[in-house]
Structure 1
């Protein structure tokens, strides 16, 4: 602004709005925490997310207690530290405990599971049976992956195209940086997700764009 005084006139003047803005910026931080808790829930389940929430509440109580005065500060802070240590030992393991399960994605009642958990053996078995495959390399913390999953990959047009050609769909969950999936990504010349692969029996794998469109997916499936 010292170099261009005219720019200084465009800047808002200091005032009460600065305090409101500072408080408002807490909400994006809250939203980030909520998203990270969702990511943790994908990895450790509801027990892991709940355990972390309890520990965060106790941590907030401790920070609040440090702002008190006199003996109240000592008693509340001591209780918070003791409770945090006790619960961290009792339920802290749930935060880092992997979620047990097959990795398959649930379908509507009466319908078969559409997305199967990815393994190299499962893909090769499908190709050996003469079935084309579609592989979704994804991760819970990948925003682009989640966008594609909820939009393009969930669209009726894409699902109908998959069914019409008998495509076997696999989902490779890289949320925890599975070494087998990492090796497969390296083989495909990629270092991260999302990666989308379409392959016909006896053909070479075809990689799609990171931000999928319905037209791109249906065009790739039409070539199978």
Structure 2
């Protein structure tokens, strides 16, 4: 309820804290690049993210007249707020699929049970807030807050069971396509010693960038045909569960996450491909040089 520089800074900080988790599926490449590069590069990347978050406020601060072109507050704000819940619900579905891959059907049951507990807690908390706003604080409000807290604790109580269930399941990101082998350092060394070209694909079920690259660049008919034509063996590593061997391989190449693509030709130096692939880039990389 106060104003001033400190208030404005803390308000901006709160906006970043609230908004940033929603950008996680889209910021993976930028954050991975920031962490994998030198410190200065990381600072520049995170500074650019901060500038992007602050840009609307900065523009309005330097040109208040722009505010007159913004839509006036009204009922549309409630509808927009409700509409924006659907992308988050879609993210929940995607994460539920990832959890299914990692932990199996029992994990889905535990997660859905926890979501029901959270929904119940939020519903009761909303009722308590409404009663307190119209009737003032009372014992019934205190009781409702207590029930909401029990719902929250019930959801949290399922976390140890979720962790135990995930530890018991092997889990794989996706089934390996035809002509693709599971990655191992031993297999990579054997193929390289035999002078055979190898394409290493490090992926994870929760990596949206990986899934898009597979669809548009790696699992296309043209790419598969070229891999067969040039005798390229594809080794795919599943980092969905943070496999230690794959983690060591990534660190050896200066990376802290996926996607990671490496082409080891029959002769010559290995080539690290960018995190965003195109079919043309992959074809140019694996085509033998004259």
TM above 0.5: yes
Instruction: Decide which moves more: 213-222 or 196-205.
Output: 196-205
Asked whether the equivalents of residues 47 and 95 of structure 1 are also in contact (C-alpha less than 8 Å), the reply is yes
Deviations 1:74-130 (A, max 9, x none): 9976995797588x38953465335326777344xxxxx432221101111222334
TM-score, normalised to structure 2, is 0.63
**What secondary structure does 1:136 align onto?**
strand
**Which of the numbers 202, 206, 214 marks the counterpart of 2:271?**
206
15, 18, 38: which one aligns with 2:97: 38
Indicate if the aligned counterparts of 2:102 and 2:172 stay in contact, CA closer than 8 A: no
1:221 Cα deviation from its structure 2 partner: 1.5
1:110 aligned partner: none
**Gaps (5+ residues) in structure 2?**
1-59, 129-139
Contact 1:162 1:221 survives alignment (8 Å): yes
Partner of 1:53: 112
Q: What's the counterpart of residue 52 of structure 2? A: none
2:200 equivalent among 132, 135, 144: 135
Matched, 1:196 2:261: yes
Residues 1:138 and 1:98: Cα distance change in structure 2 (over 3 Å):
farther
Higher helix share: 2
Paired residues, what number? 218
Does 1:65 find its partner at 2:108? no
SS of aligned partner of 1:92: helix
What SS does structure 1 have at the residue aligned with 2:104? helix
Deviation at 1:134, TM superposition (A): 0.8
Shift of the 4–133 alpha-carbon distance from structure 1 to 2, 3 Å rule, reads closer
The RMSD of aligned alpha carbons is 3.2
State TM-score, norm by structure 1. Answer: 0.79
